[in-house]
Amino acid sequence: MNFSNKGFSFIIYSIDKNTLLEIKSILGFGNIYYDALNIKWRYAVENRDDFYLILLILNGNLVLIHRYHNFINVVLPKGEFNQRFFKGKIFHKQINILFYTTLPALNNRWFAGFTDAEGHFGLPIELGRLFISHYISITFEIGKNGNRWLFLYLKELFKGGILFLLRTKLEKKSDQHNRIIFKGSKLGSNPVTLLFSYFDSYPLITKLNIYNEWRSVHNSLLNKEHLDINKLSDLVERCESLNNKSNFIKK
């Protein structure tokens, strides 16, 4: 959400135009443009009445703290949505701010949406392992734009996961977590299988194909196809293809 002397705007960027078309279809307003500079599509709401409806949807339903602060700044003194003149008079609709956020749960789609934006399904490959020319791991990682409390909460929510510390140039470690990783093809302390039932109930949208291929490789690992010399090369090729699609850094 943004505000300026010209007015207010709400913008969502995505490389997937169909996702933005679906959002526009559900809401019934807004416009879609191609942003050549960022090589992405954007869904934009700039009409004041429509922007007011966006505020109603977000009010009390935000999870990330920086998004909540952005919302408050738009409505209160800095943005002054409730006070700024519109066509010579105060806007006829006011926002009664709910001064709280919400939490992700296993019975709503928030985590699926966050994964579409910030999740990475990876199949890192190590070379030269004893007796096996390729050792394939399976990982799911989410983070970067979240808050420390969120990753601690997700660890409790899914009853597993590994928290990674934020590293800076000045120090090797800090107490700020910037991501959480689930890994391992079998049940254990941090298994990726903890995620399966959730994504079965709340399918991904932009990363659904990647997720399905990731699950397929997981099944192949459980069936020990990586130990079959006749199937290994095809399995490695599938892993490399998915890693490239999901921008996951191979180790």
Q: What is the CATH number of domain 2-90?
A: 3.10.28.10
CATH architecture type of domain 110-246: Roll (3.10)
Q: pLDDT for 6-64, tens place per residue?
A: 788 999 998 889 989 999 999 999 999 998 887 889 999 999 899 999 999 999 999 99
Q: State the DSSP code for 1.
A: -
Q: Which residues pair with 139 in a beta bridge?
A: 122, 183
Closest Cα partner for 34 from 24, 44, 48?
44
Q: Does the model's pTM come out above 0.95?
A: no
Compute and round to an integer the Cα radius of gyration of the chain: 22
For the cut 70, the answer to whether the pLDDT of residue 241 exceeds it is yes
Structure tokens at 175: 């107490």
Question: What letters, b where the CB count within 10 A reaches 16 and e where it falls short, cover 219-243?
Answer: ebbeeebbeeeeebeebbebbeebb
Asked if residue 155 lies in contact with residue 112, where contact means CB atoms within 8 angstroms, the answer is no
Q: pLDDT for 85-127, tens place per residue?
A: 766 677 788 889 999 899 999 999 999 999 998 899 988 887 7
Strand pairing report for 119-122 and 89-90: unpaired
Asked if residue 192 lies in contact with residue 173, where contact means CB atoms within 8 angstroms, the answer is no
Rounded-to-integer distance, Cα 199 and Cα 3, Å: 36
Q: Which part of the chain is CATH 3.10.28.10? A: 2-90, 110-246
Cα 10–Cα 15–Cα 20 angle in degrees, nearest 5: 50
Asked if residue 141 lies in contact with residue 55, where contact means CB atoms within 8 angstroms, the answer is no
Q: Which residues pair with 14 in a beta bridge?
A: 41
What's the Cα-to-Cα distance from 115 to each of 168, 211, 240, rounded to whole Å? Answer: 24, 10, 21
Residue that is written with structure tokens 């969502």 in the block: 12
For the cut 60, the answer to whether the pLDDT of residue 235 exceeds it is yes
